[in-house]
Structure 1
Amino acid sequence: MLNHFKRRLDRYVPKLLTLDYPEAGVLVPVTDNASNPELILTQRAAHLKTHRGQVAFPGGKRDLTDSSLEYTALRETHEEIGLLPSYVQVAGPLSQVVSRHRILVTPFVGIVPEHAPLEPNFGEIDSIFRTPVSFFMEDRRFRTDEISFQGETLYVPCYEWEGYHIWGLSAVILVDFLNAVYDAGIDILEPQK
């Protein structure tokens, strides 16, 4: 599975944004069950000042001492969900995205053991959940949101899984992952027909 992801991401050219914004790194953790891989997602804590209660990939802002954004993604993931960096096999980066708070986010796809121990840090997140990649491949979206970014309108899916809504920046990263690794063909530049 790791070799497949690496091959796909080696051929993929992630979009890099030349913006002078603070940086963050997030992990797109995929379980290593080849027949039924799942994405690991979090719901941010309800008491946080920004993005409270929203579904997100684990990760966060880069510290000055972080050697790379990949390191940031692994460090922050460990802080948020207790996933040890040694359990993660990083397959490669995805396209950079910008949060509405002007944070430049670089996602990294990582393969993790299906039964890796996870422990939520309730100071940052309320819950951890898993969603089969196959669910997203069916593109059974709950709705489509129109998001303006740098003069373009993006038509971003919102997915509902067991009461969680996966939308916004997380959905943009998710679609990029599905298109890069699985050839999902989900177009966010054109309205869904």
Structure 2
Amino acid sequence: MQSVAFDEHIARLRARLAGPLPGTAAQLTMAPRHRQDPRLADVRGKRCREAGVLVLLFPLEVPGTGRDTPAVLLTVRRSHLNHHAGQVSFPGGRREPGETLRETALRETHEEVGLPPDAVDVLGPLTPLYIPPSRFCVHPFVGITRHRPALRPHDAEVADVLAVPLAHLLDPATRRRAPRLLHGQAVEVPFFAVNGYEVWGATAMMLAELLALFAPLPDPARAPTSRGGQ
């Protein structure tokens, strides 16, 4: 099967990750109004617990085309948990002594969905994100597999595994807003509508930066020119 579409997307992603990242500005497009201060998201100078997560892309067949398109891996937490019950997130967790954050992301993904670390080609990191309520500094790493992996929940905290087409996430109609009760106050929260779930909070912010890497770059030929002296 030809996978031209997948390969084209990944080549573009690899090139963008090698340059300046969209950063906090992209993350804040999916942050609630009370978290719009860039200093809140910045991990620098924060006393925090460190975590690593994997932002995995893999090929998903487009029915009737013979081509593959990128899909993003997300996990659904079980509804009975004390923390973040029912929420959608990237696989990952807290860093253990002696391991790098990259190793943390791969280990946690293996534990949660059964994906062997050596099956993942890690392309590079996204911008770390500080999460004030939990005091975690989360470090996301973008990785790919060349074939769709056989993923299923392996962890007591994971209820389901989602393969979300990148095209769906890039559709502006997927970005929505709804009121939520946070810390006793009604707050309008942005989210991605995915398979009947609402992806919000830190996951949505990291996802926004990933999607910004696929946005068209400004065309220097169309940049306004100075007319000074005329």
Contact 2:50 2:95 in 1 (8 A): yes
Question: Who is 2:102 aligned against?
Answer: 70
Aligned mate of 1:165, from 182, 185, 198: 198
2:57 maps to a residue whose letter is V
SS in 2 for 1:140: helix
Q: Choose 109-118 or 97-106, whichever is displaced more.
A: 109-118
Q: Is 1:9 aligned with 2:10?
A: no
TM-score normalised by length of structure 1? 0.82
- Mapped contact 2:59–2:148 kept (Cα < 8 A): no
Amino acid at match of 2:47: D
Root-mean-square deviation (CA), in Å? 2.4
Q: Which protein has the larger Cα radius of gyration, Structure 1 or Structure 2?
A: 2
Deviation at 1:162, TM superposition (A): 2.0
Structure-2 residue corresponding to 1:151? none
Q: Which runs of 5+ in 1 are unaligned?
A: 148-154, 186-193
1:22 to 14, 39, 49: 49
Structure having the higher helix fraction is: 2
Give the partner amino acid of 2:118.
S
C-alpha displacement of 1:45: 1.6
SS in 2 for 1:11: coil
Counterparts in 2 of 1:121 and 1:73: CA distance versus 1, 3 Å? same
Q: Answer yes or no: is 1:95 the counterpart of 2:131.
A: no
Cα displacement (A) at 1:183:
1.5
Q: For 2:174, what is the secondary structure of its paired residue? A: coil
Whole-angstrom distance in 1 between the partners of 2:95 and 2:158: 18
2-side partners of 1:179 and 1:156: how far apart?
19
Q: Which amino acid aligns with 2:43?
A: L
Aligned in 2, Cα 1:26/1:129: closer, same or farther, shift over 3 Å? same
Secondary structure, in 3 states, of the residue corresponding to 2:93?
A: strand
AA aligned to 1:53 is G
Unpaired segments ≥5 residues, structure 2: 1-6, 25-41, 61-66, 181-187, 218-230
Q: Which of 139, 150, 160 does residue 172 from structure 2 map onto?
A: 139
- 2:137 counterpart residue number: 104
Counterpart of 1:7, as a letter, is A
Q: 1:177, 1:112 → 2: CA distance?
A: 16
Q: 1:83 aligns with which of 82, 107, 115?
A: 115
Distance of 2:163 and 2:208 partners within structure 1: 16
Shift of residue 144, structure 1, vs aligned partner: 2.6
Determine what percentage of the aligned residue pairs are the same residue.
35
Change (3 A) 1:160 1:131: same
| 1:160-192 superposed Cα distances (whole Å, 9 cap, x missing partner) | 222121111111010000112x0279xxxxxxx
